[in-house]
Structure 1
Amino acid sequence: MLPKYKVVYNDIKKKIQTQVYKTNEKIPDGNSLAQEFSYSKLTITKALDLLVQEGLLIRRQGSGTYVKENLSPIATIQLEHFCGYSKKFGKEHIKSTVIEFSVITPDKEIAENLNITDDFVYKIIRLRTIDNLPKVIEETYMPLYVIPGLKKKHIEDSIYDYITKELGHKIQSAHISIKGDKANIRDIQYLNLTENDFIMEVEKISFLENGKIFEYSKTHHCYEDFKFNTVIVNTI
Structure 2
Amino acid sequence: MSEPKYAVIISDIKQQINDGFFQPGEKIYSEGDLKKKYGVSNTTVVRALQELVREGILTRYQGKGTFVSKSFINKEVIFNEYNRFPHSNGNPRFDKQVNIGNESTKVIAITEITDEKIAQKLQIQPENRIVHFKRLRFIDYIPWAIQNNYIAKGNLLNIDFADKDKFSSLSEELKKMYGFDILNESMKERIQIEFPIRDVANAELLNVEVSTPIYRMERFTFIPENKPFEYIESFVKHDFYYIEIEKKKS
Q: Which bin holds the TM-score, normalised by the shorter protein?
A: 0.5 to 0.7
Aligned to 2:121: 113
Gap runs ≥5 in structure 1: 1-7, 30-47, 59-67
Task: Report the CA distance between 1:202 and its aligned residue.
Answer: 1.0
In the alignment, structure 2 segments of 5+ residues that lack a partner are 1-7, 39-48, 60-65, 84-97
Q: Is the 8 A contact 1:146 1:212 kept in 2?
A: no
Residues 72-81 or 123-132, more deviating: 72-81
* Corresponding position of 1:178: 192
Distance 1:232 1:12 in 2: 26
Larger Rg: 2
Go from structure 1 to structure 2 and tell me whether the alpha carbon gap of 1:98 and 1:79 turns closer, same or farther (over 3 Å shift). Answer: farther
Instruction: Tell me how far apart the structure 2 counterparts of residues 215 and 203 of structure 1 sit (CA, whole Å).
Output: 11
Matching of residue 128 in structure 1 with residue 141 in structure 2: no
TM score, norm. by length of structure 1: 0.62
Q: Of residues 97, 101, 104 in structure 1, which corresponds to 2:106? A: 97
CA deviations on 1:47-106 (whole Å, 9 max, x unpaired) are x99867645479xxxxxxxxx7452375457797999x9xxx99x932211222111112
- Tell me what 1:18 maps to: 18
Q: Distance in 2 between matches of 1:186 and 1:78?
A: 40
Q: Secondary structure at the match of 2:155?
A: coil
Residues 97 and 128, structure 1, Cα contact 8 Å, conserved in 2: yes
Whole-Å separation in 1 of the counterparts to 2:236 and 2:148: 12
1:97-137 deviation digits (Å, cap 9, x = unpaired): 12221111122x21221111132111121101123221001
1:128-207 pair list within 5 angstroms: 128-149=137-158, 151=161, 152-157=164-169, 159-169=170-180, 171-183=185-197, 184-207=199-222
CA RMSD of aligned residues (A): 4.5
- Equivalents in 2 of 1:123, 1:80: separation in Å? 31
The match for 1:72 is 70
Q: CA separation in 1, counterparts of 2:218 and 2:195?
A: 12
Equivalent pairs counted in the alignment come to 200
Q: What letter corresponds to residue 172 of structure 1 in structure 2?
A: S
Please report how far the alpha carbon of residue 175 of structure 1 lies from its aligned counterpart in structure 2 after TM superposition.
Answer: 3.5
Tell me the TM-score normalized by structure 2. Answer: 0.59
Question: Structure 1 115/94 Cα, relative in aligned 2: closer, same or farther at 3 Å?
Answer: same
Confirm or deny: 8 A CA contact 2:79 2:246 kept in the other structure: no
> 1:199 touches 1:223 (CA, 8 Å); kept in 2?
yes
